[in-house]
Chain A
Amino acid sequence: MYRIRLHGRGGQGMKTAGRILGSAFFLAGFEVQDAPRYGAERRGAPIFAYVRAGRTPILERGVISRPDLIIVADDHLLAMPGAGVLSGAQPQTAFLIHSHEKPSLWRERLNLQGPVFTLPGLPENELRFRGAACAGGAAALIPELNIDLLAEAVQEELAPLGPELVATNLGVARMAYASLAAHRGAVHEGGPVSAGEYTPPGWLTLACEEPLLSAPAIHAAATSELSQTGLWRTERPIIDGSRCNRCWWLCSTFCPEGAIQVDDERRPRIDYGHCKGCLVCLAQCPAHAISAVPEEEAAAQGETP
């Protein structure tokens, strides 16, 4: 059975990518299971989806703990332990990463043993086609899938978007497929867990604990600040100190997150650890002192948050 896990952010089309792959497998005669997994998170937050494809009815269910292929739509997620991208990766697990970086760099950085492939990044305004790109790239790596099955699956899944968007997505998917066609067969089907030889789950017997511990209540202030929502950002607002007229209040008041504080000299400072990159500040700054830079670019320029 193929077990594929897709990681991306809300809004990057990972659910769609999973469905395209699921449909392609189904059209190829496989038994299929695909599903997205939602949490409380919103657009920009890490999410994942998964696809199983086998030759007999699939009895496994739920989260894939030992993926054969991990697809990463956004390479920033690899730096977020909370996103769980590497969870359950086996020595033979293949990686398909949407990244400008070279595969060798990721292999080294993450100490990966299995094959690693990257997809060329799309221009920023085409973020929403990442799903099609990931599905196209993955289809190229799986021997039982081909370009025709991929095209049919894209059409089936995206038809409600209208012919124009279907065509664009199809183009992106084909391009990604072509870029990895030489690596056909790089992803291998994994086997089931052995009942004869396995690591026991390490059960314990829960003790009754005092209600202060065992009631779901939070006895501290503003613990949400431990969540680094800055990692959701794809574009970074940057304040040009020389143009800021230190109006005191505007970007700071309008920031929905409260992520812009103003110091005693009326200088606004953006908390990049938490700024989600909505760019309301940019839109509202009367002095046009705020510009947006793609996050990759900002990071490359060493403008660390």
Chain B
Amino acid sequence: MSETHYHHLRDLPSRHILGTGTPMCAGCGGLATLHQVYDLMGEKCVIVNGASCLTLLSVYPYTPFRGSWLYTAMACAPAGAQGVRDGLDILKKKGRISEAEDLEVVVLTGDGSAYGMGLSATSGAMDRNLDFLYLCYDNEGYGNTGQQFSPATPHAAHTATSKGPKGYPGYKKDLFGIWAAHQPSYVATVVAAEPLDLARKIERARSLTGPRLILALAPCPTGWDYEPSATVEIGKLAVQTGIWPLKEYVDGRVVHTKIPHPRLKVEEYLKAQGRFRHLFAPRENREMIAEIQAGVDRYWQQVEQEQEQPRS
């Protein structure tokens, strides 16, 4: 990524343009992501939102946005993006607006919409090669309703609807893979705790057209049960333990942008959060922890193998 403007952390924007005073929880990882992305993109964009915590950013008469915002519904934010993008393109083509009046179209949803209810609309938008950026802040549950499990919830996590000793029985859905299977322009994972990596990926995404996904792990103090001050630390641990691989898909290839070395044990990440407390107390559930570790190890072994093989 030699072409990047972001070599050092101090290359990141020092001015923050997303308005303060929002009703998000203190320490919200989703808001942290959005504010970094908005600073990078600037206000000349229309954020098309589907039902999620961040829907409550704009509650009449308050909005943190300096540009445009459209709330649609949980299932259809990419369809809203389609209407806005097409509308602007028609206006430009018919000479009714200038280039200066054009806007970038950004879908913003949580994991509930991105991994589940909105997946059909997302797939459709990719089928139509819609020129849009999708920002999913993934807090691994239906956070706005009190953190029930969603298709993005990790295995074994306690949620409001998986409170048993084994936690959530399912496995986190591979949204990155689902997107990549559509062969869109760009797919990347980010976390606000790694702002330089995030900035480079936003920069890369914006240099391309077509469907682009930025999938951000969004630590959630309320839903994951940890002190708000730990939001960045948890995000870093997710990367350092290899649980949240930072990667991008572009030109048909997946590249890992940060390979954790040495890779910390998953315990470091798990024990920092109340939603995994049952794996450590009253008794340590070694089997479950080992299973989670094995899953992560398997992933990285595969990555290493792929790196060793020459590309065809």
Contact = CB atoms under 8 A, between A and B. Distances in A.
Q: Do chains A and B touch in the complex (CB under 8 A)?
A: yes
Nearest to A284: B232
Query: Which of A41, A43, A224 is most buried by chain B, counting CB atoms within 10 A of its CB?
Result: A224
Interface in A224-250: 224-229, 232-233, 247-250
B229 A222 contact: no
Contact of A283 (B17, B22, B195, B230): B230
Interface in B280-303: none
Interface string A251-279: 01111111111100000000101101111
Interface in B32-58: 32, 35-36, 39, 43, 56-58
A224 B19 contact: yes
A257 B229 contact: no
B35 A218 contact: no
B66 A221 contact: yes
B223 to A, nearest CB: 11
A276 B27 CA distance: 8
Closest 3 CB pairs of A and B: A222-B19, A258-B16, A274-B20
Interface residues of A, number: 47
Contacts, number: 148
Contacts of B228: 43, 276, 278-280
Interface in B236-295: none
A216 B12 CA distance: 35
Interface string A16-50: 00000000000000000000000111111100000
Interface string B1-36: 000000001101011111111111111110110011
A223 interface: yes
Given A40-B23, A229-B20, A252-B16, A280 B63 contact: no
Nearest to A266: B14
Contacts of B222: 42-43
Specify the main secondary structure of chain B where it touches its partner: loop
B283 to A, nearest CB: 15
A216 to B, nearest CB: 5
A256 B32 contact: yes
A261 B25 contact: no
Contacts of B66: 221-222
Nearest to B222: A43
A70 interface: no
A282 interface: yes
Contacts of B12: 249, 253
